[in-house]
Amino acid sequence: MFHARYRPVPGGVQRVTDYEVGAPAELVADLVAAGDEVLYAGDGALRYREELAEVDRSEQAGPSYAFPSAAALVELATARVEREDFVSPEAVQPLYLRRSDAEIEWKRREAS
């Protein structure tokens, strides 16, 4: 499961943890230990709804928040532009938190 934690700030949200990938049980354990209020959003929140329900003081954002809408992305981008906190399109780089399935399979075949 891919995840990061955010907090509300004027004009949008701010990420407060690194991007991570891990088992839903690991995320649940971390959230239970933290004891904070949690709002889940994204397709992983829907997929792992039962596991995430174990966290007290948590709420599911709902299916309409499973994938970001263009309007939501524009709203977040507008706040960043107003703060002059942006990069040129040429500087945008993809972020891979895990190897592709093809790379994983290739390594598995090499090892056997």
Give, for all 112 residues of the chain, the pLDDT tens digit.
999 999 888 877 889 999 999 999 999 999 999 988 899 999 999 999 999 999 999 998 888 888 878 887 887 788 778 888 878 889 988 889 888 999 999 999 999 8
The DSSP 8-state label assigned to residue 30 in this structure reads: H
Give CB contacts under 8 A, 24+ apart, made by 85-91. Answer: none
55: Cβ contacts below 8 Å, ≥ 6 apart: 28, 31, 32, 38
Q: Residue 9 belongs to what domain range?
A: 2-111
Q: What is the pLDDT of residue 86?
A: 79
Q: What is the pLDDT of residue 78?
A: 84
In the chain, how many domains are there? 1
